[in-house]
Structure 1
Amino acid sequence: MKRRTAREKAFQALFQMNNNEMDTDEAIQHVVEDPVVDHFLHDLVHGVIEHRMELDGWISDHLDNWSFDRLPYVEKTVLRMAAYEMKHNEEVPNQVAINEAVELAKIFGEEDSGKFVNGVLSKML
């Protein structure tokens, strides 16, 4: 599975976990077609869940005129994923994590979601 696809699936799994009572592996299995789970996808979903409090704090520190609790869930999820990659995945350059997050925000978010996500993540560099 390509990393872009893995990120989309990770977003979907994390989003589902917010809306339904699912554990992490169940959410991942729900969004993938093959029974074999991609390592990058698995690490991203589990990592975001495991480090959620730390990531939320780091993101909150870089929000201007917003509280983290008021963010739409699409933006929260995308920001958490990118923050996890930036902080905990040495294989992914920060700029790649930001660009991929902007693309996810454009796909799943509102019209200005990509710009918002780019602004927040750029401050986190």
Structure 2
Amino acid sequence: MKRRTAREKALQALFQIDINEAVPGEAIANVLNGQENDAYLAMLVEGTVEHMQEIDDMISRHLEKWSMDRLAKVDLNIMRLGTFELMYEEDVPANVAINEALEISKRFADERSAKFINGVLNHIKNTINS
């Protein structure tokens, strides 16, 4: 499975976990829909869930005039996925993590969301790299 596809399926799994309180394994199985499991997909979902508190804290600190509860669930989970890669995936360059989040947001969210997500993730990237 290509990493972009793994990221898109990870977003779908994270959304299920967020909305339906599914467990990671169940959510991954649901999005795979009978396809073979993918190690990168599993790592993204399980890693994001494992570090959810730190990721949410980081996102919350970089929201300007917004609060976590006002964010659309899709936007929040795209940011969680991007933030996980920025904070914990050393083999993924920061600009790649942000670009992938933006490409996914173009598919699953709207244009304004992409600009907002880009701003938040860039602030996070700058915080991590400083």
User: Scaled by the length of structure 2, what TM-score is found?
Assistant: 0.91
C-alpha displacement at 1:22, in angstroms? 2.0
SS at match of 2:15: helix
Q: C-alpha separation between the residues in 2 aligned to 1:40 and 1:50?
A: 15
- Asked whether 1:104 is paired with 2:100, we answer no
2:45 corresponds to: 45
* Number of residues of Structure 1 aligned to a counterpart in Structure 2: 125
2:116 aligns to what? 116
TM-superposition CA deviations, 1:18-71 (whole Å, max 9, x none): 222421111101111445311110000001111001000001111111111211
Amino acid across the alignment from 2:99:
N
User: Which runs of no fewer than 5 residues in structure 2 stay unpaired?
Assistant: 126-130
Amino acid at match of 2:67: S
Other-structure match for 1:18: 18
Whichever residue aligns with residue 120 of structure 1, its letter is V
Which structure: greater helix fraction? 2
1:88-123 Cα shifts (integer Å, max 9, x gaps): 011110000000101111111123111110011111
- Counterpart CA distance in 2 for 1:33 and 1:67 is 34
Q: Residue in 2 aligned with 1:32? A: 32
**Cα RMSD between the aligned structures?**
1.2
**Letter paired with 2:38:** D
Q: Which amino acid aligns with 1:67?
A: S
How many Å separate the matches in 2 of 1:77 and 1:58? 13
User: What amino acid is aligned across from residue 93 of structure 2 in structure 1?
Assistant: P
**Could you list the per-position Cα deviations for residues 58-87 of structure 1 after superposition, in whole angstroms to 9, with x for gaps in the alignment?**
011111111112111011100000000011
Gaps of 5+ in 1: none
* Structure 1 position 124, deviation (Å): 1.1
Could you tell me which residue of structure 2 aligns to residue 83 of structure 1? 83
Paired amino acid for 1:124: I
**Alpha-carbon separation, structure 1, partners of 2:104 and 2:68:** 19
